[in-house]
Amino acid sequence: MRILILEDEEPAARQLIRFLAQAGLAAEAPPVLRGVEKALTWLRNNPMPDLIFSDVELLDGNVFGLYEQFRVTCPIIFTTAYDQFLLPAFRASGIAYLLKPYTYAQLAEALAKYRGLQQAFTPPAAPTTPTLSGEMLEALSQALRQGTQPAYKQRFSVRMRQGLYVLQTDDVAYLQADEGVVFAVDKAGSRYPLNGTLTELERQLDPSRFFRLNRSELVNISYVEKAEPYFNNRLSVKIRHGTATLLTSAAQTPEFRKWLEG
């Protein structure tokens, strides 16, 4: 069985290879690619694997950029710390979505799904390389519509010097873009760098809880203590539990007033 691993974190790649060996699928260590460009080159110059294990955020970008450039016809099992990419994952031939840290039992369940789909959708006389049909994708899409996809982002996975820190969105008082980097700020004023632009993150968050105050800031309703008039038709927004004060833009002030009233 030909397996390809797309993973930029060495400990995660080693664990996955151990799990595959435990499942009897990695007599020889499969190739591990850490970036989108290297993965694109590999796919263009090698036969299509039987199965891909794919992280979402690689060293040089988001893996869905790879799947837009190259048509992958084998199933993909996504292994990631991010929960907001479930729908794009299934659109990109995904058959399982394992949130890190995952267990061997969870991996074994995903492999069982792969084997079951392979038997169900591969005709007896067809080549052994499995492909995902439109019928299979529709079935997976239907499963998503039945509630397997979280509506909005529940947590951020933040890369720190000590490793990955999991920050719950409930603990984020506001998001602030500063010199091209978006920071999540908690009630203590601690700042955590995030991946993506403020606009991209805004789309992933529940609009009933997070509001875009201006070009550079999103606020969590749970941490709004009060809003007071400010000059030029703006509002000064006091953040609960801290000393931070944010400002609405003049254009956003009317919408912010409506949002506060629920």
Find the angle CA(68)-CA(126)-CA(3) to the nearest 5 degrees: 50
**Are 30 and 121 part of one and the same domain?**
yes
Final residue before a domain boundary, out of 148, 180, 212: 148
The sign one gets for the Cα dihedral 160, 164, 165, 167 is positive
Give pLDDT, residue 147: 44
**Are 70 and 190 part of one and the same domain?**
no
**Are 83 and 40 part of one and the same domain?**
yes
Minimum mean pLDDT range among 23-27, 207-211, 227-231? 23-27
**Are 141 and 179 part of one and the same domain?**
no
Final residue before a domain boundary, out of 84, 113, 148: 148
Residue 7 · residue 16 · CB < 8 Å: yes
Domain holding 141, by residue range, is 3-148
**Are 12 and 132 part of one and the same domain?**
yes
CA distance 85 to 90: 9
Is the pTM higher than 0.85?
no
CA distance 68 to 80: 19
**Are 35 and 144 part of one and the same domain?**
yes
Give pLDDT, residue 167: 92
**Are 127 and 248 part of one and the same domain?**
no
**What is the total count of domains within the chain?**
2
Minimum mean pLDDT range among 39-53, 89-103, 138-152? 138-152
CA distance 218 to 216: 7
CA distance 123 to 116: 13
